[in-house]
Structure 1
Amino acid sequence: MASIVLTNVDKIYAGGVKAVNGLNLEIKDGEFMVLVGPSGCGKSTALRMIAGLEDISGGEIAIGDKVVNHLPPKDRDIAMVFQNYALYPHMTVEENLAFGLKLRKMPKAEIQKRVGEAAKMLGLETYLKRKPAALSGGQRQRVAMGRAIVREPQAFLMDEPLSNLDAKLRVSMRASLNTLHERLGVTTVYVTHDQVEAMTLGDRVCVLRDGLLQQVDTPQNLFDKPVNLFVAGFMGSPSMNFVTAELVRDNGVAVRFADIRLPIPESTFADKPGLDQYIGKKIILGIRPSDFEDAASAGSHANGWATLPVKAEVTEELGSEINVLFLIDAPPVEHKDTVAAADTGDDEEAALPLVGDKSLWTARVNARSHVRPG
């Protein structure tokens, strides 16, 4: 096991395209670090530079106490898992697991020991004599992970390893990855575009955008304390609702937008002393969909809550909860950070209001709610 440190790392492609820009990141020994961001943010490029599959254009990468800038991948003592399983189709599961160890001329007894331990850990013991064609997608991915595990490397590097699996398998594989990491304690760098994977797997999560690091923190802190509009809008699904509002002190602190006044508890205001300077000024207000509840269903629990009278335009019933889409009589926030967080790939289209000069918001309410469109 080892720490991984990236210091001012750049990657510049032909034509001056900067895929990674001055990346500084310290991954602790034994930590599970997730790199997440929209398409083209540089997360896979950063992983490939750590692996040695991409040359760096500037800066320094260290694995453990060794600078690896010019070391080939085979000398970095890392093991990679990709989204395509890269298994040898003519070999059995056992042979796939053992192949890399045989290339290193490891003693046969040690190979058998490592393969047996990995197979037991991953629940592959009954499949050792099968070939990849006879396995399901989840089983193939476990074989790919087993091939990395038998190496006993200093670090695992994983590039969207679950993206080819169906939703149910992804859930079980996430649980397996968590269990494996707790058991092995190997430093792991994991790339994904899936926020759920990032939030459930990472000890810490590194959010990237356009090759620039935006924030590195625990999943809960990213959700509760985003450092900018991009992180606020990108982390969480459905994404945060934004509106331009005025911060006022009128019978207590409140925010006003459209014809709505939402009071802010004094305790919340006191926790954020920097807000004082924005009294009487325009701010961007963000509200998570999960912070809403149907007032009719909340009953006495709603006493003292701020209320927002709205008309439901669309409801999405998800079984355990309902997403309610409604309009706010205020223009959408058009800011480069909120557009980038939408990850549409088309800034111009993403910035266009979908419903005239009104904002479309989402509330996530309890499934027992009777809210319906209209």
Structure 2
Amino acid sequence: MTNYAVDEDTGTLLRIWPTGRGQRAAVVGSLPTTAAVEDRLRLAATLTSLSEALWRCYTHPGLAADDRGDGNGEGWRREQSREAFSQLVGFVREPNLPGEDGVMIESYDPVEEWSHRVGRAVRAVGDAQVLEAVSADVAAEIEAVESAERGDLGGRAQQAVVLSRTDVSPVQVAAADGILALDPLDRERLFLDVDPTAAAVAVAHWLKAAADVVAEVSGMSPDQVLYAADDLEALPVETPSEVLELFDFSNTSYGVVVEMVRAAMDVGEGVLADLGAFLVAHDTGDDNDDADDEAAPVRLTPLDPRRPAVDLLEDLLTGIRACRLVYEEYAGAGDAASTDAQFCAAVREEARKNYTRLM
């Protein structure tokens, strides 16, 4: 999301947003010297909260919820928030204000309510030019979210590359797949140009292809390839190994990745989606288990719930590199460059043959 700040030295309102490589900043507008410090800071704070609410509509789309038809369910509420986008600049310009009796209407919808609060904060600053600048900036932030939804991460929409999303754009999956087709060992562009959940969907597909290639030349099962790599070099192979195992239960990398990311995002919000399944998975069935073992911490998700999609993407790319390490032990291609070329060609062909596994 975009963060807003006040530069007290110059009296300007700034916006700062992430790009995957670092933070960018730009001036929204100049604040009048007559405005109180608390009013300036309140304006920056409300704009930041509005941006957070807008980008949550991107990371938690209504179509990803199971209760979209429910007239008061989570999916319905998400769709209501999204449908309000066209009215938000109007709320900034004409916000709800207290009536003569001091009573003020507040919206249950977060994007609507934060738009009204931005409008009231602008009024407190009391400058027509600030109102115009803020209105234009809110419109640009809305357009950035809409652009990201379409799969176009140019301009301010690039901040989507650091966000985890509970669904993916097919356009973004295709973009990530195209990057990997050029070079299955490429890491940088996926973190800079592609939504991380969509990138992880594509990388999971290519990881499966890489594991199958190594399994064919080594004679081991695909599920054992990453553990063999861990014997050669200490690597975080638990998560990519779990992804490979999940392909036994899912026909698509979309199904594997999106379910993992959604579950981790739920944990990040304090929710365990399926407590029964979790308890079964961690039940050893031994009534004589040591009490100290039972008291040991248990991870609710293999991913970092603060950045699950990016964390998964990192681990899956490490998994492809791990496959490359094992491949080198069996391929006999000669030098490193020849091994890379031979490995990439084989994985590229395997991924092409199983392209329908993506979505």
Q: If each structure's helix is expressed as a fraction of its own residues, which one has the higher value?
A: 2
TM-score clears 0.5: no
User: Which TM-score applies when normalising by structure 2?
Assistant: 0.29
Q: If each structure's strand is expressed as a fraction of its own residues, which one has the higher value?
A: 1
User: Which TM-score applies when normalising by structure 1?
Assistant: 0.28
